[in-house]
Amino acid sequence: MNLDLILIFVFYGILLIYFLKNRDKFEIQNKVFALYKTKLGLKFMDDIAKRHPKFLKYFGYVGIFFGYIGMVFIFYFLIQGTYQLLFVEGARPSVAPVLPGVKIKGLPVLSFWHWIIAILFIATIHEFWHGVYARLAGIKIKSSGFAFLGPILAAFVEPDEKQLSKKSAAQQLSVLSAGPFINIVSGILIFLISLLIVNPFANTLIDREGIEIIDLQEGFPADNAGINIGEEIISINNVVVNNINNFTEQLNNILPGEKINIQTNNSNYTLVTSVHPNDENEGYLGIIVTAKNIEIREDVKERYGNFFPNFFLWFTRLLFWLYAISIGVGLFNLLPLGPVDGGRMFLVGLNKFIKDEKITKKIFTLTSFIVLLLIFINLLPYIIDLINFLIQPILLFLV
């Protein structure tokens, strides 16, 4: 039984009931986008825009620059990932649904509460920053609130689109790039806080025992030897390894072409190291591991009890998801895709350099279709898994 999936069904069930009972308070757009409009935060957006106009102006230019850099990067990443998924055996999708309970190789499972908090945080600052730059440009904001694009949760601000369309290209781009850029910036800041402050302290609270394989790089020795994700490493060259430090010590100073024996809980493997991708003088296995068991140290329990260390570890995992999802959402929103910020930035850029509106619309439509197709191809494995998950109970009942 997957508790996170049960909680998400309950959560969406409650939201659906609330929507049905208060349908008159929602505005439905294009039959799939439901908006719940408020005036929340509008005064605060206006205050920030008035207090820091010079800083925001130049910060907006930086956002535009990195917005287009991010657009090129994420579009290339999506094309490359799709090619590998279709033509490279064992390749993984480059896009994954960020939902609780969904297993993504190489990442911990996202819990329900981490998901809710992360989505609320990311959506709120994303839309708030759009609103700040709209007010900086003198554009009226009609409303703010939360929304549903089908099952996808979102927040929104509603600037006056007629006023926005009359502004200069730089002002339009500042408004459009503000949301994705602040997501990426906040993600980087949270990462640095985690790396330099939170994680070092968290490591003093716990013992990490056991070594579990969480990922293998295709075509490298560990993958070629037939080692499987999920196996636990017991020893290397007949030396028992109990934790990540032992594992690292045994693999220090290995050379290319060196024979290594790895014993796991399933089997024994003999493999020959390859050249490290970043250092031709260093051997490489192409194996990624994590601690099998993470337990709070006994002396920590005696000093702090159980609540504080458990909460701090929960908070540490929350920060991980906040920076991972922030950067992911920021980059995804920079895709040259019709409804998202990157799509609108792409269209503004096209109109700046191509004066024929028919040509720009054709390029925009074709690009959006290509991006949607690439996203669908990458999400297809997860869609198939979801369909299998949903029909399994029905098949069991029929049998």
Average pLDDT on 360-366 reads: 94
Across 150-177, average pLDDT: 89
Percent of the chain with pLDDT over 90: 46
Residue appearing with tokens 């294009």: 30
Predicted confidence (pLDDT) at residue 151 exceeds the cutoff of 80 = no
CATH assignment of 207-295, among 3.40.47.10, 1.10.132.20, 2.30.42.10, 3.30.70.270: 2.30.42.10
Sheet holding 141-149, edge to edge: 26-29, 33-38, 141-149, 152-159
* H-type alpha helices, the chain: 3-21, 42-51, 53-87, 112-136, 161-166, 169-193, 199-203, 221-224, 244-251, 298-304, 307-332, 341-353, 357-398
Q: Structural domain boundaries of the chain?
A: 3-200+317-398, 207-295
Token pair for 214: 């969480």
**d(Cα 310, Cα 377) in Å, to the nearest integer?**
39
Q: What is the pLDDT of residue 326?
A: 96
The pLDDT confidence band at residue 30, using thresholds 50, 70 and 90, is low
pLDDT digits (tens, 9 = 90+) for 267-309: 899 989 998 887 888 888 988 888 888 889 889 988 888 889 9
DSSP 8-class letter at 148: E
Q: Is the pTM of this model over 0.85?
A: no
What are the start-end ranges of the H helices in 22-111?
A: 42-51, 53-87
Residue type, 385: D
**What's the pLDDT score for residue 320?**
94
Give the model's confidence band at 129: pLDDT under 50 very low, under 70 low, under 90 confident, else very high.
very high
CA–CA separation, 306 and 55 (whole Å): 45
